[in-house]
Amino acid sequence: MSKREAVDEMLEGCGGAVEINPQRREMIKAAVANREVLVAANGALATWTPPESTGRSPKDTLIVKRAASQDKIDWDSPNNIPVSEETFEMLFADALEVLGGKERLYVTDRVLGADAAYALPVRTVSDRALTVLFTDNMFRPVPEGIDDSLFAKKSFTLLALPYDKLDRSRYEGRLRKLPDGRTTDMAVVIDLDQRVGIVYGSAYCGSVKKLMFTVMNYMLPEVGILPLHCSANEGPDGHVALLLGLSGTGKTTLSADPERALLGDDEHGWSDAGIANFEHGCYAKMINIDPEKEPEIYRAVMHEADYLEHGSIVENAMVYPDGHFDFDDERLTPNSRGSYLLSELSNIKPSSVAGHPRTILFLTADANGVLPPLSKLTPAQAMLWFLMGYTSKLAGTETGIVEPQTTFSRFFGEPFMPCNPDVYAGMLGERMERYQAEVFLVNTGWSGGPFGEGQRMDIKLTRALVKAAMNGDLDSVEYREDPIFHVQIPLSCPGVPAEILNPRDTWRDQDAYEQRARKLAAEFAAHFEKAYGSKNIAPEVAAQCPGR
């Protein structure tokens, strides 16, 4: 019996009620009635998770190691943590038993992928109405022509038990030990061969989202499609731009541009036909959101509507007794999130598909304050920065992160890119060359000094820089090479003061800048040697690594 058949058998024999593909209004109504959410003053749904579930838990995110797929997965990556087949079978059996004893279950059938040619069907089963409502926000309706999809016969099943906990004694020696010596009671597990995922004990909605996008990032290269952790939008002239970056670097904020039609804010595939979004909605950070600087996201979450028509989910934000949010209060977590439909934005491309990109932006939130706010990359530099995926990991995006940390996450999404690195790197290099995309590095982090001394880049200035790059306004300006990081710094940019373009000029203490920049460059060199020293990296690419 296949895993899907076992799930279907559980649903048929379940002692409680089973709601299969309920209407959106019914999901909302059930989430409120079950006290999974509160209705905020504007009609959005507010929810809070336990302290251990305010972000992803990478150390509890596991991939089943099976003979059929093990050579395709980079087990050297600290993010690809193997779990045995036997332990997975225990987890699956426990999940079925617990779900089968619930009073009510909810099931949604959706797909990932706006291009029906490779849309992946996914069935989600949960005892929480909020979880399936989240899938209704984030996953796409089943399109016509799904039977012709490359994955029509490779559907995925996701079991979500966000508030149930594992029996620690049962999994002693099988799952990780916590610092206090106990065994974890949480697991987010992917079986890529049997096409099953389990979210057990993690109430953070992002665990559901990222599990499924990791699956897509594994399956797509096998059919010649490059998955990218990026947002995408299209200008009135039809020119497409991609924005790659880790959580907290500004993908969602910068791609929500009223002058450009949004395809999606987080995950896309690049096929021979062009770009296609995976998602049906957005999952944006809400902490310190400014309605003037981020009007599109703010309106999508904060517009007023009857709660049965609203459906936006606000996770882990402070709410006062009168039902109003305080997005500047981060006592719960800096990782408050808003999940909303793409259709809530004022300018989207409903099909979520477009042609090949003309502009690619690599976003980094540099807490050192030493990278330019924008710089142009040669093809070799683009490959180097894609491999390195540098940013400063910001507080709240993962459990336990309270201060910015220097992070190298290849392809700007290493935790969600399970295949061997040469697969993704080779595919991007081939596409950049074939379609002649211009690549820029954009620092959305600090200027004038490091975190704690300098200032975060003004979003209005960053928007002006991004707009110039997307519109081709930087194609004819003069550039100067940064001597430490090798990137090309523009000497001018429309609408941006020239004095902020070179980060060295924004520091009062030039010697302090030099020391900080060379320290970061040394970190680049050390990481490159560790991650790629034994790999067959082209010399012209390796030569672009700072500090080497």
**Residue numbers annotated as active site:** 56, 210, 229, 247, 251-252, 266, 337
The CB-side HSE value for 376 (13 A sphere, CA atoms) comes to 23
Contact call for residues 493 and 477 (beta carbons, < 8 A): yes
Which of 246, 245, 158 minimizes the C-alpha distance to 205? Answer: 158
Give the C-alpha distances (Å, rounded to integers) separating 350 from 280, 398, 528.
Answer: 10, 32, 41
Token pair, residue 261, equals 């039609």
Burial annotation 182-200 (CB, 10 A radius, 16+ → b, else e): ebbbbbbbbbbebbbbbbb
Query: How many CB atoms neighbour CB 23 within 10 A?
Result: 10
Residues 6+ apart with CB under 8 A from 240: 232, 233, 234, 263, 274, 275, 354, 355, 356, 357, 358, 359
Which of 12-16's residues contact partners 24+ apart within 8 Å by CB, and which partners?
13/100, 14/99, 14/100, 14/102, 14/105, 15/100, 15/101, 16/101, 16/102, 16/103, 16/104, 16/105
DSSP state of 116: T
Q: In this structure, what are the phi and psi dihedrals at residue 374, rounded to the nearest 5 degrees?
A: -155, 140
> Which amino acid, 366?
D
The CB-side HSE value for 204 (13 A sphere, CA atoms) comes to 28
Strand, coil or helix: 318: strand
Contact call for residues 77 and 83 (beta carbons, < 8 A): no
Tokens 């906990």 belong to: 165
Strand, coil or helix: 16: coil
Which of 367, 360, 362 minimizes the C-alpha distance to 386? Answer: 362
Give me the DSSP letters along 419-459.
Answer: B-HHHHHHHHHHHHHHHT-EEEEEE-SEESSSTTTSEEPPH
